[in-house]
A and B are shown apart, each in its own frame.
Chain A
Amino acid sequence: MSALLKLTGVETYIGRYHILQGVDFEVPEGQTTMLLGRNGAGKTTTLRTIMGLWEAKSGSISLAGEPIEKLSTPDIAQRGVGYVPESMAVFSDLTVKENLVLAARNGPLDDAQLAWIFGFFPALKKFWLSRAGSLSGGQKQMLSIARAIVEPRKLLLIDEPTKGLAPAIVMSLIECLKEIKRRGATILLVEQNFHAARELGDQVLVMDNGTIVHRGEMAALAADVPLQERLLGLSLEAHQ
């Protein structure tokens, strides 16, 4: 399987803090790669650096073989990278419809794609003309993901989609992400929820102190509790 995204020696500073200290990894095309690690390990900074929201001081980032580390965020998005930030990032003053129309940059909303989204996020259809700010936390997260998939993307960067959500909502989000995966999407997913990680991940990367300390298959890590405890400080079961 060829690598769609490749990071080599990426270093990022936020102010005077050296956050990413030489990050190297590949995200294989058509697979879901989980990015795990303790709080403050640099997972969100990694996604934001890929997206161009933080500048990579050194190293290279390539998407489908093309370097993107010098591109601006809109250029990276226009090359087919969808980003779902953490904390239910919707445009609160706009309606659900307007949020999705905004994300569909290449023309009007595709009816078939919309029907597919409504299939696992029926709440979005129900609140179609409501302000996004008036939705519940779970609905906002659904909208945030729907915005990233309203048009086909080469790569999806998703940051802790289940954070702070009720278990029932988490289950429905996992089903949605599985469906997106079945359609052949390539996903780099930051997730703390073990159940979600095990269900969705093909590959896994573990970060610590701004570097990748483990890479391999998700199933292997899920089966190796001592390795989990060594890498993450506790077993993944305890992350739930």
Chain B
Amino acid sequence: MMILSGDPPRSRALSILLVVILLALLATPFVFPGAKALNVAAKICIFAALVASYDLLLGYTGSVSFAHTMFYGIGSYAIAIALYGLGPSWTSVAVAVVAGLPLALLLALAIGLFSLRVEAIFFAMITLAVASAFLVLASQLSWLTGGEDGRSFQLPELLRPGTVFIGKEWFGFPINGRILTYYLVLSACALMVLALLRVVNSPFGRVLQAIRENRFRAEALGYRTVFHLTYANCIAAMVAACAGMLNALWLRYAGPDTSLAFSIMLDILLMVVIGGMGTIYGAVIGAAIFILAQNYLQALMSIASTAASEAGLPLLPGLLHPDRWLLWLGLLFIASVYFFPTGVVGRLRGKPAAKH
């Protein structure tokens, strides 16, 4: 299949799961009305692209980067600063794209050329240092970034919730700029995931896999591995910056907590591991599972706790109390790593666990 770059899911269960996720995302505005469902769906889309770009680094080259949220933040802040400073117009969006993407590219190029020549741990440490410095910089330059408060801004008129295209009479709720923004986010993220699928299935992607397996062997075939790793870093950074731009457009806000925080980096790592490293499809699955659990586990536990309490069961109501949702989220992740060591996609494709 051309659209999947000759890399179909290769598992009936995985195909069904991906189709269900895609249909659910497409139908969310109509089937699950309400702000929360739409927010969750948009977050799944954005993180699917963000996690897929991180998987290009971690899963396909074996490089651990802690700077991915920095590139995500560059995209977010580029949109926020441009729309806040220049006003809510498409020109401002264009300025943000023209300024944000090259900045992310140049930083990724510099980090890559500087640190990917040597041991992987050095690259990880450099990215950690640069990301920390960027986080501090974003907080300190409050005249530009809004500091800890971040920047709220208005969207171009077409994307505003107040812009109604179709009234309530058709679907029972208006089709407005918010829904248009959602589909913009969905289609841009789908394009990015498909583009990454193309990258990993290209000859360039094969070289990355060869480098991941044995860098010296790839060099002995004549490949300049540092350049290949740097190009991968640049591609991943550009996609992360695009995802950040979409996130800012969706939230109409950019701040340290929503785009630069290290907790987001940990979330990305978990999503990659849960979905399955080295499988772009894993990013979609990992993002969907993680974000659904993050948003609905507490509500589910509340229902379970009430039911257990009404049934007069001992201990369970306390254990399932909604306040303990983070404990259960953690246990779920431990269980998923234990039972799916190659991630959900690896398991569904029947790939054996990597032997070291």
Contact = CB atoms under 8 A, between A and B. Distances in A.
Tell me if B's interface is mostly helix, strand, loop or mixed: helix
Nearest to B216: A53
Contacts of A219: none
Contacts of A98: 206
A61 to B, nearest CB: 15
Contacts of A51: 220
Contacts of B220: 51, 53, 73, 77, 83, 85
Contact of B219 (A77, A91, A147): A77
Contacts of A92: 213
B217 A105 contact: no
B219 A72 contact: yes
B206 A147 contact: no
Contacts of A224: none
B203 A101 contact: yes
Nearest to B224: A74
Nearest to A77: B222
Interface in B214-230: 214, 216-225
A91 B216 contact: no
Nearest to A83: B220
A78 interface: yes
B222 A91 contact: no
Interface in A56-87: 72-74, 77-78, 83, 85
B144 interface: no
Q: How large is the interface on A (under 10, 10 to 19, 20 to 34, 35 or more residues)?
A: 20 to 34
A102 B206 contact: yes
B213 A102 contact: no
Interface in A85-130: 85, 89, 91-94, 98, 101-103, 105
B222 A89 contact: no
Interface in A109-167: 147
B213 A93 contact: yes
> Which of B206, B218, B220, B278 has the most chain A CB atoms inside 10 A of its CB?
B220
**Highest count of chain A CB atoms <10 Å: which of B206, B214, B221, B223:** B221
Contacts of A105: 221-223
B28 interface: no
Contact of B210 (A53, A74, A83, A102): A102
B54 to A, nearest CB: 19
Nearest to B227: A74
A3 B218 CA distance: 28
A198 B243 CA distance: 63
A77 to B, nearest CB: 4
B216 to A, nearest CB: 6
B207 interface: yes
B222 A74 contact: yes
B19 to A, nearest CB: 26
A91 B214 contact: yes
Interface in B190-235: 203, 206-207, 209-210, 212-214, 216-225
A93 B218 CA distance: 13
Contact of B207 (A77, A89, A102, A147): A102
A101 B201 CA distance: 13
Contact of A102 (B212, B216, B221, B225): B221
Given A53-B216, A91-B213, A78 B206 contact: no
Contacts of B224: 72, 74
Contacts of A74: 219, 222-225
Nearest to B217: A89
B209 A91 contact: yes
Contacts of B213: 91-94
A163 B209 CA distance: 26
A77 B209 CA distance: 19
Contacts of B222: 74, 77-78, 105
A78 B206 CA distance: 19
20 contacts: A51-B220, A53-B216, A53-B219, A53-B220, A74-B219, A74-B223, A78-B222, A83-B220, A85-B217, A89-B214, A89-B217, A91-B209, A91-B213, A93-B278, A94-B210, A101-B203, A102-B221, A105-B221, A105-B222, A105-B223
Given A73-B219, A91-B210, 14 more contacts: A53-B219, A72-B224, A73-B220, A77-B221, A83-B220, A85-B217, A85-B220, A93-B278, A94-B209, A101-B206, A102-B207, A102-B221, A103-B221, A147-B221
